[in-house]
Structure 1
Amino acid sequence: MIKFFRKIRQKLLTKNKFSKYLIYAIGEIILVVIGILIALQINNLNEQNKKEELRKSYVNSIKKDLESDVVLLEKQISQFELELKIHTSLSERLSSSNVTFDTIIKIARYEFLPFFSPSNNLNLNTYNALISTGNIDLLSTHMSEKIQKHNAEQIEMLEAVDLNFRLLAEMGYEYMGNYPINIQYSGIKGKQMNSIWEQVDENKLKTNLNGVLTTKIINYNFVNKMRNELLDKTKKIIEEIEKNEK
């Protein structure tokens, strides 16, 4: 093609048809410019398509993270609800007007466990990738604001739960240091612990057991309240993503 245009230019110059050559040269320049503009337009369209594909990939990944959070939160809530029933039952027995100290010792030694499930995590990988790469701008302003607000609420819940778990863990370790409980991994088991429980101060045991059990019940209710609120918000964002991406 270039050789073809070069031959035309040479013919026009050899025949001293400068005016026609000038018109031809201008036309050729215009064609080149048009070609460049078309190439740029195609390149821009390709870039836009790539960005749109990347945006869809991020949105799909965020949706999967949120769906995983729903499963995770529901499991955590269910587990705490089950344990709350156990703790509430213990509380009712310990609060009975005819409960004996022997029964309290039995509950403290063989039934009550100061442990808890420390599970407290959410799927934040996609959001963190969006922020670290600056690709959060690929999302619409509305969706970006929604996702960032939700992430702030996720972090707030995780930090609040961690704080409560640390408090409960400290109380649990202190309680076990004073009152050895009957578990599989106890350093000393069985009859060797009898002498300790035979000399336990009644009021001190009641006070310590009440403190840990009460803190556990309050903690579980508080944590499940936060988890349920976040669960509802997570489901709503998933619904909004599905609606917007149709």
Structure 2
Amino acid sequence: MLKFFRKIRQNLLMENKTGKYFKYAVGEIVLVVIGILIALQINNWNEENKINKIRTLKLSQIESDLRADVVSLEEGILTKENEMATLNNYRDRLLPASASIDTLDKIVYTEFLGRIRIGFSGFNNITYNSMVQSGELGLLSDDLVKDLSDLNIRQQNSENSLNNHWEIYLKQSQSFEANYPAKGKTHILGGGPLGDYLREHRDDQKFIVHFNEVYIAKRLMYSQNLAQHKNILELTKAILKTHFSE
């Protein structure tokens, strides 16, 4: 009987010891899990901090690009408005009854030919384009991405339109100068007797018609680009006001 009670006591001691070990093991597991969760949270914080730094940098770069565009657009618009005023001046001098072929000759050969002033070197969209290619636009708010996308489309349309009008004007201008070389210019016939012959025997009616084509091409190039740049300037300022501090 005594042996029986001793055996029961030993079993109870073993169960108590096992319970303690079990509790200890559970505690260790809990501590490990907590450590892993803390490590993950710290890693998430570090990653979020890294993303926030990149976002802040990109926003700063985009704002800088937009503000640079505002300055360039305002300067370019002023230049094109001055050029439009000059073109209007040509028209006003040729409309009166007193205007003659000599008036047109003076305008063409001393003022019009070779005068091209666009006053704009291009849009500052390197940051936006690089973010599109790298997939980083997700760093920005949906509203800002939408506005920047709209702005970029208008910029591209403006550049394409200017290039198309420039090609038309250049073709017209080169054709005009080839048919009616200016005296003293670096044209193969410009300063020689053949050039004098061309000028003396030119058809003034064709000369006037051809100049009118060049004039219209140039005027259309400026007017279209001026209207587009005013629209883009307005949108650029609106984006700065909406998404960036003044």
- What TM-score do you get using the length of structure 1 for normalisation? 0.85
Residues 139-183 of structure 1 show CA distances to partners (whole Å, capped at 9, x for unaligned) of: 111211111121112112111221111111111111111111367
After TM superposition, the structure 1 = structure 2 runs for residues 223-238 of structure 1, keeping only pairs within 5 Å, are: 223-238=225-240
After TM superposition, the structure 1 = structure 2 runs for residues 39-78 of structure 1, keeping only pairs within 5 Å, are: 39-78=39-78
Which is worse superposed, 110-119 or 93-102? 110-119
Bigger Rg over Cα:
2
Decide whether the 8 Å contact of 2:185 with 2:191 is kept in 1.
no
Decide whether the 8 Å contact of 1:168 with 1:216 is kept in 2.
yes
> How many Å apart are 1:88 and its aligned residue?
1.4
Q: Any unmatched runs of 5+ in structure 1?
A: 1-15
> How many Å apart are 1:97 and its aligned residue?
0.9
- What TM-score do you get using the length of structure 2 for normalisation? 0.85
Decide whether the 8 Å contact of 1:62 with 1:126 is kept in 2.
yes
After TM superposition, the structure 1 = structure 2 runs for residues 1-246 of structure 1, keeping only pairs within 5 Å, are: 17-113=17-113, 115-117=115-117, 119=120, 121-181=122-182, 185-186=186-187, 189-190=190-191, 192=193, 193-243=195-245
Decide whether the 8 Å contact of 2:173 with 2:214 is kept in 1.
yes
* Partner Cα distance (2:201, 2:28) in 1: 106
Residues 60-104 of structure 1 show CA distances to partners (whole Å, capped at 9, x for unaligned) of: 111111111112212222222222222211111122211122222
Which is worse superposed, 36-45 or 160-169? 160-169
* Partner Cα distance (2:196, 2:242) in 1: 60
- The size of the alignment, in residue pairs, is 230
- CA RMSD of the aligned region, Å? 2.3
Which is worse superposed, 223-232 or 105-114? 105-114
* Partner Cα distance (1:184, 1:75) in 2: 31
State the partner residue of 1:3: none
Q: Does the residue aligned with 2:68 lie in a helix, a strand or coil?
A: helix
Between the two proteins, what is the percent identity of the paired residues? 32
Q: 1:183 to 1:45 in 2, by over 3 A?
A: farther
Decide whether the 8 Å contact of 2:183 with 2:196 is kept in 1.
no
* Partner Cα distance (1:75, 1:207) in 2: 33
Bigger relative contact order, structure 1 or 2 (CA pairs below 8 A, ≥6 apart)? 1
Q: 1:232 to 1:190 in 2, by over 3 A?
A: same
